[in-house]
């Protein structure tokens, strides 16, 4: 696991976007695994700028998203399908038919999970998977539990996750309680993983993820077993790692 220091959210976003752009420049038909949440917003803004400058093109890329809320149609402004269109897809030249996300309106859970897993497989797997991290260590929507779920599945969101996500909804009762998510196995099958984290609230979980035991109670800890993971985090998020395990961090500024 390579951990890279960024001064602030802006620098983090620039470093992450540059890596994604490099992937697409080197392999124009890349399969990008994409994420939602506040963390990737700046990265997407940077990617849009690189596209507008003519430095990167997405016309041959395929994009598969990690997860989607159950019960929200894609027109709902809080659905992840809507998020991706608004914050990235409609600003770049990716073809809509090359973007994939679980269908949160499909009530046939087993069918939807199997269909999505097959979609990812049929694309030949993910070349670069972008991840955020939940305060409890969730990746995608793989919540802490007693085992690592392998494939795409439907999860009941933890209270902590519903609380965290309620900031985007008018009322707490409006926050979906279930979601479809790629499994830990689906995520670990990506050739490269890029995890981004910003802000002091993520400091304890970054420390646990990188130095704690690998266990399903901290789902992101499994990333210690992936051979090509880059974590880019800003100074606030790296706070506890800098104090407890500075040797793990690359590109630390001279103090
Ligand atoms: C949601 C998403 C995750 C994301 C997490 C953290 O639960 N399903 O993919 O990583 O939130 O979000 P944020 O980046 O806003 O902290």
Question: How confident is residue 193, by pLDDT bands cut at 50, 70 and 90?
Answer: very high
Helical segments of the chain, H only: 9-26, 41-52, 80-87, 109-122, 159-165, 184-188, 203-211, 235-244
- Cα separation, 16 vs 202, in Å, equals 17
When pLDDT is averaged across residues 215-238 and rounded to a whole number, the result is: 98
Of 32-46, 117-131, 157-171, give the lowest mean pLDDT range.
157-171
Residue from 43, 72, 84, 132 to probe ligand 1 pocket by mutation (most atoms less than 8 Å from CB)? 132
Length of the chain, in residues? 255
Confidence at residue 19, expressed as pLDDT on a 0 to 100 scale = 98
When pLDDT is averaged across residues 45-53 and rounded to a whole number, the result is: 98
Whether pLDDT at 47 is above 80: yes
Its pTM stands at 0.96
When pLDDT is averaged across residues 186-200 and rounded to a whole number, the result is: 98
Strands 178-181 and 67-69, how do they pair? antiparallel
H or E element at residue 4: strand 2-6
- In DSSP notation, 19-34 reads HHHHHHHH-TT-EEEE
Number of helical H runs and strand E runs in the chain: 8, 11
Q: Residue 175 Cα, ligand 1 centroid: separation in angstroms?
A: 14
How many other CB atoms sit within 10 Å of the CB of residue 214?
14
Residue from 16, 33, 39 to probe ligand 1 pocket by mutation (most atoms less than 8 Å from CB)? 39
- Cα separation, 166 vs 176, in Å, equals 9
Whether pLDDT at 138 is above 70: yes
Pocket of ligand 1 contains residue 140 by CB under 6 Å: yes
- Cα separation, 182 vs 153, in Å, equals 7
Q: What is the phi/psi pair of residue 17, to 5°? A: -65, -40
Taking the CA of residue 40 as reference, the ligand 1 atom at the shortest distance is 14
Q: In 3-state terms, what secondary structure has residue 18?
A: helix
- Cα separation, 209 vs 239, in Å, equals 14
Confidence at residue 195, expressed as pLDDT on a 0 to 100 scale = 98
Please, what is the average pLDDT of the chain?
A: 96
Whether pLDDT at 255 is above 70: no
Strands 153-156 and 99-100, how do they pair? unpaired
Confidence at residue 254, expressed as pLDDT on a 0 to 100 scale = 61
- Cα separation, 168 vs 27, in Å, equals 35
- Cα separation, 146 vs 92, in Å, equals 40
Whether pLDDT at 186 is above 90: yes
Q: Which fold has domain 17-206+224-231?
A: Rossmann fold (3.40.50)
Report angle CA 235, 187, 33 to the nearest 5 degrees.
75
Answer for the pair 40, 33: CB distance below 8 angstroms, yes or no. Answer: no
When pLDDT is averaged across residues 173-196 and rounded to a whole number, the result is: 96
- Cα separation, 219 vs 139, in Å, equals 7
pLDDT in tens, 58-108: 999 999 999 999 999 999 999 999 999 999 999 999 999 999 999 999 999
Question: How confident is residue 52, by pLDDT bands cut at 50, 70 and 90?
Answer: very high
Q: Is the C-alpha dihedral spanning 6, 191, 206, 132 positive or negative?
A: positive
**Interhelix angle for 41-52 vs 9-26, to 10°?**
50
Whether pLDDT at 113 is above 70: yes
């Amino acid at each position: 696991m390579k951990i890279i220091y960024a001064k602030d959210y802006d620098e983090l976003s620039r470093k992450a976007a540059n890596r994604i752009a490099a992937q697409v420049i080197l392999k124009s038909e890349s399969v990008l695994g994409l994420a939602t949440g506040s963390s990737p917003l700046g990265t997407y803004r940077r990617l849009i700028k690189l596209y507008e400058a003519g430095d990167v093109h997405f016309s041959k890329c395929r994009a598969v998203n990690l997860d989607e809320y159950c019960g929200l149609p894609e027109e709902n402004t809080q659905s992840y399908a809507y998020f991706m269109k608004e914050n990235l897809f409609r600003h770049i030249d990716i073809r809509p038919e090359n973007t994939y996300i679980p269908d949160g309106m499909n009530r046939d859970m087993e069918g939807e999970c199997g269909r999505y897993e097959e979609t990812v497989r049929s694309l030949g797997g993910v070349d670069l998977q972008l991840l955020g991290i939940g305060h409890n260590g969730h990746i995608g929507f793989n919540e802490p539990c007693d085992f690592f779920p392998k494939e795409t599945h439907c999860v009941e969101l933890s209270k902590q996750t519903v609380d965290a996500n309620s900031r985007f909804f008018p009322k707490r009762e409006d926050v979906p309680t279930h979601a479809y998510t790629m499994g830990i196995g689906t995520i670990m099958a990506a050739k490269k993983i890029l995890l981004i984290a910003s802000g002091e609230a993520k400091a304890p979980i970054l420390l646990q993820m990188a130095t704690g035991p690998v266990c399903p109670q901290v789902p992101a800890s499994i990333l210690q077993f992936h051979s090509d993971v880059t974590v880019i985090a800003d100074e606030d998020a790296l706070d506890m790692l800098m104090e407890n395990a500075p040797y793990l961090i690359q590109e630390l500024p001279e103090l």
